[in-house]
Structure 1
Amino acid sequence: WYISTWNVRSLYRAGASRKLEEELKKYKADITALQEIRWRKSEITQLRDHIVFNSGSTANIRGTGFAVSNQKKHLVIKFQPINERICSLRLKGKFANLTLISVHAPTEESETEMKEDFYAELERVYNNIPGHDIKIVLGDFNAKIGKEDVYKPVIGQHSKHVVTNDNGARVIDFASDKNLRVASTFFPHKKIHLETWVSPDGSTRNQIDHVLIDSRHATNIQDVRSFRGADVDSDHFLVRARVAQKMASKAHSKSERRRLFATDKLRVQTVKAAFENEVNIRLQKDHSERETVDVIETKWNKIKDVLQGAATEIMGERRKPARNDWYDDEVAEALKQRNEARQRMLVKKTRASGQEYRKMRAKVKLICRKKKRFLERERVKQLQNDFEQKRGRKFYKEVKNIKNGFQPRLGCVESKDGELIGGKEEILNRWREHFEEVLNRGEMQTDLSQEEIPLEEDVEPPTREEFNDVLAAMKENKAPGEDNIAVEMLKNGGERVQEELYDLILSVWLREKMPQEWDSALIYPIFKKGNRLSCGNYRGISLLSTVYKILASLIAEKLHVFAERVLGDYQCGFRKGRSTTDHIFTMRAVLEKFYENDLDLHQLYIDFEMAYDTVSRIGLLKCLENLGIPFKIIRLLRMTLSHTHAKVAVQGKVTKGFSISQGLRQGDPVSPILFNLILEAAIRNIEVNAGGSIYNRTIQYLAYADDVAIIARSAADLKKACTQLEYGAATYGLKVNEGKTKYMVTTRRARRFGSLQVAQHAFNGVNSFKYLGATLTSKNEVKEDIASRIAAANRCLWSLGPILRKRDVSRNAKLTIYKTLIKPVLLYGSETWTLTSADERMLNCWERKVLRRIYGPVVENGVYRCRKNDELRELFKEPNIVKSIKLGRLRWLGHLHRMDQGRAPRIAYEGHPGGRRPRGRPRLRWLNKVEEDLSKLNMGGWRRKASDRTAWSELLKEAKALQGL
């Protein structure tokens, strides 16, 4: 097999990586050290036939790395990016592992200090290589190595040069110190096969790219030579070494492939009719047998087979969308002609051959740029066409694709020990191992089916109308579970199949036994942030059977009625008529009043470690029983949780299954309600009254699902409340995450508050905390939250820049993108803001920046200039950003006024914590700003009007058109 080195002089050019792959395949270069990749960042990118490991900088300069063929990537153990000049790759060998170091040394003319720094870093990297590894250092050393006898046996007799230059002496010095051999000087070849670099004018040819290997394994390299025919438009030649070392063999096993049906075709009326007809025909064939069969598993299998068979017959398999690849036959032909011109120039260097080659290089660059720009323009035109034709889903899908930009495919993952895994089966096994550990933390729990629950039929089974309502409410265009049955197939399969499904679900409800396939979940890893190779930086999205989700939704509907009776007002997560704004407003209102009245408020923002995945299922059943949930529902929930298992889907392949014995099912409609009930039970266990307010008590709980905040008048009260909550939560398998739980004190005093010591925990003290997406500070200022929202909106704006800059996209389309994708990012939580004049100026300035980008400059006397503020106001007929915030505050005020008196936001808004205001002018309150807006709009008697939701909405519509705000 072969290892190579090649200074490619940029893969940042259009078509460069595609051409590199073609050349590496042609010359059988299995593993190639690359220099001057010129890609930003240090990352791993999966190409078609190779995986590229890049060690780059923040700019598109230099950069080293490796290109490993798909046939050899399973050998990769670890990639270590050092800087833009050095990186290393460790490979799995049969008898000994190999470590390769790719280098790009400074040029001969570089400063001495730069050269010394480079070799000092190279020495550090080399010294960290495991002792028993075969060590190979290769790359562009920018070094001429001569034939001086004094340097033997480090060098051989077959170098192109006679005299060693300064860089060459440094290479030899490094090799001598590390007992290496310069293998590229040991093999006799023609001069043209020793040369690795040619000057732009073709007059100078040097051997400056080298391969070094430790002397103990020097005989493993059997040949080193350059190949002039390999062409990536670089002035360096490919240098290839033949290696005799045997590598580890690849394990082969067959994995399951994920197939999906083309449900998009059901939007066509004729296809929909044909699908319904095919389903009915298949059901009719099995009708006589079905009437006599009363086994749930058999019923399900027959319904599944009918739907899958009809889908295969009518819709077929969903095909991957064709890659919009601009690299076509014309580009390939131009590259071929350039390569031929280069070969002629290398064989016989004349003015004419050099001119022909330069002409072909320019032609290839022009063709590649034109093709790429044409493809981008076509994508933008299609996006505009979708907007004009009101194809909203396709429009936003394409916007999202452009916004996300290039996302490198995952070609490797890290093992638990940090080593790289490249083989397909090994990658699948690693993902399976990761999620099996994550979803089965702690002790294995006993079989839930052994738990005794009274056999009382205290809940009526779902009616056909309830079944129809749940099916109609299910969202389309969602990925199906492992059975591949999408909701579109159920909705468009006709009345008859729906009747069969209802009959099946009714049987499951009555017998409390469901098909085994419904126990299975398909987990897709979704990247969060950090190192893409670490499985821990991904969260799993579980896909459950669509038919099971209908059953779970019916159970959730029944459970919801009882849950609302027992849940306290502190919980706003997944409850009708409540949102994150409730708690954000409550926190801001309480902080505002405590700060104004010179009272300290201690806050603890609790994070539970893997909250949903660590719930004790046995504890859950006991909790439901204690809360008075009907036994029938508890038995049905026991059925859904008794034998759960999962598989992991990665890049179209599916792992083997594994059992899950704890936690709630992710993606299950009933899981959010169950977690709320568990938290309710945990708080009840510690005999703490979670009702009331901090205004009349020493502590108060606020929760949005698993995001729990405790506020208290003193640190002692906070410690006590935290200890009790942790004790109560532990009963149900919940564990406080010390690292992510934060402590903050809102106070006027200048003294510092450090960490909070609670039992064995030390919770870090902070001056600001992002609570439910809104930034709260110890001084209760919204300035930091506004800055955070502007920064988030700017990131969104930057990612959408490729669309907003295009002339082919209409202004209306750009304004729609602004109003639906960018502006909501900024306005999140703005209903709770108390804005100063400076804040309003900053927000208006930001919006004008966006509008100038959308509307573009104007030409005046042949010169472009930015649009003035009054010109923007004339063009943009919508309320400006500040007016939108004020209208949002008024909308929230009406909602607040219509709330029950006992709701936390209403109490926080109307109540008073006691204490006394200190001397000096107080800060503006939220209510002051809202009343100021009301007075500008002449809204007298607003409380009476706010009580009527419809009348209040009409008032806000009128206010939107008024110029007062």
Structure 2
Amino acid sequence: MFKHKGAHQYTWYQDTLGRRSMIDLVVVSSDLRPHVLDTRVKRGAELSTDHHLVVSWIRLQRRMPDRLGRPKRIVRVCWERLADPSVGGVFNSHLWESFNQIPREVGDIESEWTMFSSSIVDAAIWSCGHKVSGAGRGGNPRTQWWTLEVRDAVKLKKESYRAWLARGTPEAAEAYRQAKRTTVVVVSEAKTRVWEEFCEAMEKDYWTASGKFWQTVRRLRRGKQLSANTVYSGGGELLASTEDIVGRWKEYFEDLLNPTDTPSVEEPETEDSEVDSFITQAEVTELTHLCNIAGRSGTVPLDWATGVVIPLFKKGDQRVCSNYRGITLLSLPGKVYSRVLERRVRPLVEPRIQEEQCSFRSSHGTLDQLYTFHRVLEGSWEFAQPVHMCFVDLEKAFDRVPRGILWEVLWEYRVPGPLLRAVRSLYNRSRSLVCIASCKSDLFPVHVGLRQGCPLSPVLFIVFMDRISMCSQGLEVARFGDYRFSSLIFADDVALLAPSSLDLQHALGHFAAECEAAGMRVSTSKSEAMVLNRKKVACTLQVGGEVLPQVEQFKYLGVLFTSEGRMDREIDRWISAAAAVMRSMYRSVVVKKELSRKAKLSIYQSIYVPTLTYGHELWVMTERVRSQIQAAKMSFLRRVAGCSLRDRVRSSVTGEELGVEPLLLHIERGQLRWLGHLFRMPPGRLPGEVFRACPTGKRPWGRPRTRWRDYVSRLAWERLGVPPEELEEVSGEREVWASLIRLLP
């Protein structure tokens, strides 16, 4: 087909037997076949294999589309120089001069904001200058081990290979082999040198710039992130050009943030830099003046109402937009104003929110919900009382909140008119744009949903969800002793509980109806049912004519609950997760001799231990679990200490050498600390009520499981010397209880 000499046709060779073969091919479609200009073998030493590279030249008649990617050259303000006191002093003095030139008479909010922001940016440019990042001439600077020495060694290897092909003598072959060995050594030494410099820089950052150190650790854990340069359109067509891709992302988020199936909403009334992180007294004064104008006028600058949406990949096909989660970046001065409003709204609505809602509230957290759920399952299993559960998932809950209904809910929760007008001002002209690979889309308005990243949004959302929960409550409630409740809510994670399948169906129907009336929608594909019962029973639940799947286990707030009420699988799961954390940083951090033990142990305490012990306050520690936890702990610490099991060094000796607190002691302290919280909880707090409640029923035959309260009471008796009958009195004194836990041997 294409005439070439034999050396440029054979793709595989075996010199010892003189074999040659053409087994590597380039396959093209029939429509591209007329455009193929040439195909041949390119012999070279780069691949280090017995196969040669096959190359085809194809001439395309149409213009190649521009590909989406990060720009090779980015110019920005070098704001990190503000950490230098001398640079910060220049910045402050220049900023004072700029602010003193601003007229003191009150103008409209836009002109005031323009003068404020331009003064900060000008002062930052004057004091910090610009920074250019990205690849420049001479190649990609990210390949740091590619030095002149490496380049010369690789060049010599290529020349030796070509000389061997041309001459075919034993001397030429030996010269090539020697050049190849030399290249391997040079490249290996260069990579080792770069790793040593990298670890030394990490060690220096650990002591001088902790933020940069942890940013590097996060990047190492995350690994290399591959980005897709194409995306599917709404009709399934693959888009490749930058303009089409950015337009598709704009279309996707515009539809997502403006759903058409929500109740009628009100029509709306008529780039910050990271420099704002280094705020000064001058900025505080001017920003206070700006916020006062916004509060009195009931309007905010347009930049405060503008969000930049960044798509973050979750899982699945990277070319499908729905497999991404959009996060919104907002103006930092606007977030300061939102925080001021949040601190005024929260005291008004907090007393009216139900106890079942535990998210974004002071003295409430995930552990409250996890313990309540665990205690209900534990007590119900002990007395053979069935519990029917439905874990409800809401579709895009944060982005579907109708703002018109939200303002009505805030009015019902006694938010006064002036404050409500200030809250609405953040949404009156809200708009967004999408930024993907440093390419920005056009602006589009957003009429529905709450602002992501806004300090005010969490309290608005829990108020909205609290009203749905209150309106959906009926007679179908779960009883635990004398306490009654129908649901557990953490933001939009809703768990409905009922004594029977029929009662649960009624409760689910009421909740789904209230969600529909409020503009929310239950996701039937992600909502699931589960039954705690000593016998296998079916629980058929329907929403909108669709049957929800029934499962044997469900992960609620990060903890795996099963239909048998056991925690064994949960503990095994976190041990595996901790092992995955160690594997992700094994070669880059854990075994690197250039990093000090102090830096490695900080990673152990900050990442490894929290992963391994998540939810440990609920565990009942058996000898098997203790052995597993101890083994998982020493798996990390032995590598930090530079020893192995073959060295036969006791775990206690390794722990004392590293100065690490025993992990089992850490777990026991957490469990006893939580026990004290439960005893001190005031009446009405849900975890305290179920802790003190006595479930009714008759225990079945057989040995009962060890209850969490019995285990932790025995732990307090054995480790602290406090008998069970005195626990409530001793733990009621917070300082006394805390001192006992600190002195735990």
Conserved? CA contact 2:38–2:56, under 8 Å? yes
**Contact 2:388–2:499 (8 Å) recurs in 1:** yes
**Conservation of the 8 A alpha-carbon contact between 1:856 and 1:866:** no
Alignment match of 1:243 (pick from 33, 58, 64): 58
Is contact 1:729-1:735 (8 Å) kept?
yes
Alpha-carbon shift at residue 716 of structure 1 (Å): 1.4
Secondary structure in 2 matching 1:656? coil
Counterpart among 226, 237, 240 of residue 422 in structure 1:
240
Deviation string, structure 1 residues 439-495 (Cα, Å, up to 9, x no partner): 22224886736799xxxxxxxxxxxxxxxxxxxxxxxxxxxxx22254324x13x42
Partner of 2:221: 403
1:903-944 CA distances to partner (integer Å, 9 max, x unpaired)? 110111011231111222221111111111111121253323
| Within-5 A mapping of 1:524-535 | 524-535=310-321
Shift of 1:831: 0.6
1:311 aligns with 2:124: yes
How has the CA–CA distance of structure 1 residues 279 and 693 changed in structure 2, closer, same or farther, with 3 Å as cutoff? Answer: farther
Bigger mean CA offset, 893-902 vs 209-218: 209-218
State the partner residue of 1:712.
498
| Residues 1:761 and 2:542 are matched in the alignment | no
Q: Mark the CA change 1:868 to 1:447 in structure 2 (over 3 Å): closer, same or farther.
A: closer
SS at match of 2:172: helix
What TM-score, normalized by structure 1, do the two folds share?
Answer: 0.72
Q: Secondary structure at the match of 2:397?
A: coil
Q: Is 1:928 matched with 2:717?
A: no
Q: Deviations over 1:413-435 (max 9, x none)?
A: 34445554333333322322222
Q: 1:798 aligns with which of 564, 583, 591?
A: 583
Q: CA deviation at 1:698?
A: 6.4
User: After superposition, what is the alpha-carbon deviation per residue over 1:303-338, rounded to whole angstroms, capped at 9, x for unaligned?
Assistant: 111111111111123444863621122222222211
Which residue in 2 is equivalent to 1:296? 109
Q: Tell me the equivalent position of 1:539.
A: 325
CA distance in 1: counterparts of 2:70 and 2:198, whole angstroms: 35
Q: How does 1:632-643 map to 2 (within 5 A)?
A: 632-643=418-429
- Contact preservation (8 Å) 1:299, 1:504: yes
Distance in 1 between residues matched to 2:121 and 2:110, nearest whole Å: 16
Residues in 2 aligned to 1:638 and 1:304: alpha-carbon distance in whole angstroms: 23
Q: Which residue of 2 aligns with 1:355?
A: 174
> What is the letter of the counterpart of residue 276 of structure 1?
N
In structure 1, the partner of 2:276 is 487
Report which stretch shifted further, 522-531 or 657-666. Answer: 522-531
Give me the whole-angstrom Cα distance separating, in 2, the residues matched to 1:235 and 1:281.
70
Q: In structure 1, how many angstroms separate the alpha carbons of the residues matched to 2:70 and 2:26?
A: 39
Change (3 A) 1:565 1:773: same
2:303 maps to what in 1?
A: 517
Aligned residues: 734
TM-score (norm 2): 0.92
Does 2:646 align with 1:833? no
Aligned-partner residue type, residue 203 of structure 2: Q
Aligned CA distance change for structure 1 residues 498 and 221 (closer, same or farther; 3 Å):
same
Q: Are the equivalent residues in 1 in contact too, given 2:476–2:498 (CA < 8 A)?
A: no
Is the CA contact 1:770–1:776 (under 8 Å) kept in the aligned structure 2?
A: yes
Equivalent residue for 2:735, pick from 939, 950, 964: 950
How do 1:260-659 residues align onto structure 2 when only pairs under 5 Å count? Answer: 260-285=76-101, 287=102, 290-292=103-105, 294-320=107-133, 323=142, 325-387=144-206, 389=207, 391-443=209-261, 448=266, 482-484=271-273, 486-489=275-278, 491-492=279-280, 494-495=281-282, 497-659=283-445
Match of 1:162 in 2: none
Q: What's the offset of the Cα at 1:724?
A: 0.9
Q: State how far apart, in whole Å, the 1-side matches of 2:506 and 2:406 are.
A: 25
- 1:414–1:534 Cα contact (<8 Å) kept: yes
In 1, Cα distance between the equivalents of 2:153 and 2:739? 65
1:939 aligned counterpart, secondary structure: coil
**Counterpart Cα distance in 1 of 2:156 and 2:711:** 71
User: What is the distance in 1 between the residues matched to 2:734 and 2:216?
Assistant: 37
Change (3 A) 1:754 1:347: farther
Q: In the aligned structure 2, how far is the partner of 1:224 from the partner of 1:758? A: 60
The answer (yes or no) to whether the contact 2:679–2:732 under 8 Å persists in 1 is yes
The alpha-carbon deviation at position 697 of structure 1 amounts to 6.4
Q: Secondary structure at the match of 1:711?
A: strand
RCO higher in structure (CA 8 A, sep ≥6): 2
Conserved 8 A contact 1:200-1:235: no
Alignment-derived partner of residue 887 in structure 1: 669
Per-residue deviation at 1:567? 0.3
Report if the CA contact (8 A) 1:324-1:375 is conserved: no
Question: What amino acid is the match of 1:279?
Answer: L
Question: Which residue identity is paired with 2:226?
Answer: P
1:817 maps onto 2:620 in alignment: no
Offset at residue 258 of structure 1 (A): 7.8
1:775-817 CA-partner distances (Å, limit 9, x unpaired): 1111111111111111111111211212211223333332222
Q: Answer whether contact 2:386 2:533 (CA < 8 A) is retained.
A: yes
Query: Secondary structure at the residue paired with 2:467?
Result: helix
Change (3 A) 1:392 1:188: closer
Using the alignment, how far apart are the partners of 1:831 and 1:887 within structure 2? Answer: 9
Matching residue of 1:916: 698
CA deviations over 1:531-586 (Å, ceiling 9, x no partner): 33332222112110011101111111111011112101011100011110000000
CA shift for structure 1 position 590: 1.1
Distance change >3 Å, CA 445–CA 306, structure 1 → 2: farther
**Is 778-787 or 530-539 further displaced after alignment?**
530-539
Aligned residue for 1:193? 8
Q: Output aligned runs, 1:25-44, within 5 Å.
A: none
In the TM superposition, what whole-angstrom CA distance separates every residue of 1:381-431 from its partner, at most 9, and x where no partner exists? 2223333x3643233222223222333344333444555433333332232
Equivalent residue of 1:917, what SS? coil
**8 A Cα contact 1:202 1:349, kept in partner:** no
| Aligned counterpart, 1:737 | 523
Alignment correspondent of 1:939: 722
SS at match of 1:765: coil
Which amino acid is 1:278 matched to?
A: H
Task: Tell me, yes or no, if the aligned pair for 1:698 and 1:713 is still in contact at 8 Å.
Answer: no
Paired residues of 1:647 and 1:657 also in contact (CA < 8 A): yes
Cα distance in 2, alignment partners of residues 412 and 451 from structure 1: 37
What amino acid maps onto 2:432 in structure 1? A
Percent of residue pairs identical = 28
Which amino acid in 1 is paired with 2:388? H
In 1, distance between residues paired with 2:183 and 2:722?
69
Note the C-alpha offset of 1:600.
0.3
Q: Could you tell me how far 1:719 is from its partner in structure 2?
A: 1.1
Relative to structure 1, the CA distance from residue 602 to residue 249 in structure 2 (aligned partners, 3 Å threshold; closer, same or farther) is same
Q: Structure 1 CA distance, aligned partners of 2:636 and 2:180?
A: 40
Contact preservation (8 Å) 1:230, 1:238: no
Q: 1:404 to 1:250 in 2, by over 3 A?
A: closer
SS in 2 for 1:516: coil
Alignment check: 8 A CA contact 2:388 2:497 kept: yes
Tell whether the 8 Å contact from 2:36 to 2:56 is kept in structure 1 after alignment. yes
Which SS does the other structure have where 2:634 is aligned? helix
Q: Which structure has the greater CA radius of gyration?
A: 1
Q: Per the alignment, in what secondary structure is the counterpart of residue 764 of structure 1? A: coil
Aligned residue number for residue 462 of structure 1: none
Q: Report if aligned partners of 2:39, 2:57 keep a CA contact under 8 Å in 1.
A: yes
- More helix by proportion, 1 or 2? 2
**1:735 to partner: Cα distance:** 0.8
Equivalent-residue separation in structure 1 for 2:303 and 2:268 (angstroms): 21
Separation (CA, whole Å) in 1 of partners of 2:74 and 2:361: 35
